[in-house]
Amino acid sequence: MNLAQLLARAAGVFPAAPALSHGPHLVATYAELAARCARLARALRTRCGLAPGDRVALLMSNRPEYVETLWAAWWAGLAPVPINAKLHPRETEYILAHSGARLAFVGGDLVSGIAPLAAGLPALERVVEVGSSDYAALLASQATLPVHPAADGDVAWLFYTSGTTGRPKGVVLTHANLLAMTLCYFADVDAIGPGGAILHAAPMSHGSGLYGLPHVAAAAHQVIPESGQFDPAEIFALADRYRGAAMFAAPTMVKRMVTHARTAHPPLEGLKTVVYGGGPMYLADIQDALAVIGQRFVQIYGQGESPMTITALARRHFADASHPRHLQRLASVGVAQTGMDVRIADAADRPLPAGEAGEVLVRGPAVMRGYWQNDEATAATLRSGWLHTGDVGALDADGFLTLLDRSKDLIISGGSNVYPREVEEVLLTHPGVQEASVVGRPHPEWGEEIVAVVVRAPGAAVAAEELDRLCLAHIARFKRPRDYRFVEQLPKNNYGKVLKTELRDALAREPRT
């Protein structure tokens, strides 16, 4: 089934229902949104010459055009490639090249960074600035296109993860994968009633955009803040306007909402649900959020390879304060979502009993088809029929999963994923750097902050400012270290491997200034 059928059905059954708003301003009803997507889909297939399965990149901050370009691509049988708008142009260039995107829809604030890259990307035939006259021309014709009859296994979302080896991997998610995710939302995360809405405060290139699917399936309202970003005051005001509102938020966003609510006392009645994930939420923080904002929370655990769908801690678990293991459950990430199977395994992939720590393995209909043009990584990650998450956790006797560590050394800072090696490889291009190890240090607001521990080359006098400029020239700003430590040598084991645990522990013991 093509996911665009969800939009076509909503438009047929609820044509006058509000589908998309920009702040307080209605952009389109369901009939209008479906008509625009059908026209844009026809233009993509006829005027732009795209064929089913071709990749279309979406590079923009949150705005109404994100919704219509995404659904138009599905309508036409194309494969959207969502790209984080905060990435460095060189990172974006790699994704565009590796995915073979033939067309890119780009926000006006990002066009200047993409235009110089186009000449070096032979597959990229056209860059369309959303909101421009070029974009309007694609929508000008009244001719439409029927929804393309996509197969369940066709690519629906080609999502590039942060790279553990310096290059991101393209996660292939199919129409069937995202339909399974949509059904999991209804079964395990939240009900969407008449007049429901989702506030897109988090990036639509990630989880928030995916959660547009169940809301379209329910003919609910998608609301994009006029600021195009996360502002707690704006979010509370929109929730008050659009009653029954849900949103997806990183833990750092939840903390900012709590701080604002504690001091500004905004109306809370319109905010129905806050689904949080994408990083660790410490027990004290969620207890504080419950005390200030109330029983409005659901936690999910997922990865790009199984988006938003591994486990969920439902609202009823938050409310069940009388349960003898209530605090342990609040510190967990919940239980396996419907249709998903979660196992804890040892290094030989043997299942471990309840209470024992090991790697979190997952299988089910939401797990990716594989990595784009990377059979070796696909085989390694999906071996034995299970998705190997690289996360370390333990299941209790009731099936609640607690994450203990991230064996791949992933750093989650402000809800954004940063793999240390990606940063280390940039640092090691400096002639004054002999060795570098990047780790996360606990941070009260961002969850973790990035710290680079550097061994200078003999006789070199490289300073932190030089390394900061180097990082800013090659990777996204949010990935650069916030602190540089210069040491004589890095701690290593007998095999020469850097002991990052020792580095993290030493940094965590330091008093904060």
Report whether pLDDT(383) > 50: yes
**Span 6-35, average pLDDT:** 98
Residues 223-257 as b or e (16 or more Cβ within 10 Å = b)? bbbbebebbbebbbbbbeebebbbbbbbbbbbbbb
Report whether pLDDT(164) > 80: no
For residue 40, what pLDDT is reported? 98
Give the predicted TM-score (pTM) of the model.
0.86
The Cα 337–Cα 327 span in angstroms is: 21
Q: Which of 44-48, 296-300, 421-425 has the lowest mean pLDDT?
A: 421-425
Partners of residue 402 on adjacent β-strands: 394
Please give the full DSSP string across 133-179, using - where no structure is assigned: HHHHHHHH-----PPP---TTSEEEEEEPPPTTSS--EEEEEHHHHH
- pLDDT-derived band at 220 (thresholds 50, 70, 90) equals very high
Report whether pLDDT(411) > 90: no
Helix (H/G/I), strand (E/B), else coil: 174:
strand
pLDDT digits (tens, 9 = 90+) for 447-472: 889 999 999 999 999 999 999 999 99
For residue 202, what pLDDT is reported? 93
For residue 418, what pLDDT is reported? 82
Q: How far is CA 375 from CA 96, 156, 273, 302, 386, in A?
A: 19, 19, 39, 22, 15
Q: What is the mean pLDDT of the chain?
A: 93
Report whether pLDDT(165) > 60: no
**Please, what are the domains in the chain?**
4-392 (3.40.50.12780), 411-509 (3.30.300.30)
Place of tokens 């990650």: 381
**Span 309-321, average pLDDT:** 96
- pLDDT-derived band at 497 (thresholds 50, 70, 90) equals low
Amino acid at residue number 491: P
Q: Which residue in 64, 14, 38 sits closest to 212, CA to CA?
A: 64
What does the block give as tokens for 277? 């994930």
Amino acid at residue number 35: A
Which DSSP letter does residue 295 get? Answer: S
Helix (H/G/I), strand (E/B), else coil: 281:
coil
Place of tokens 């553990």: 164
- pLDDT-derived band at 166 (thresholds 50, 70, 90) equals low
**Span 362-377, average pLDDT:** 97
Q: Which of 157-166, 170-179, 182-191 has the lowest mean pLDDT?
A: 157-166
Report whether pLDDT(163) > 60: no
- CB–CB of 104/134 below 8 Å? no
Report whether pLDDT(13) > 90: yes
The Cα 333–Cα 312 span in angstroms is: 6
pLDDT digits (tens, 9 = 90+) for 90-111: 899 999 999 999 999 999 989 9
Per cent of the chain over pLDDT 90 is 79
Helix (H/G/I), strand (E/B), else coil: 278:
coil
**Span 189-196, average pLDDT:** 94
Report whether pLDDT(32) > 50: yes
Report whether pLDDT(5) > 50: yes
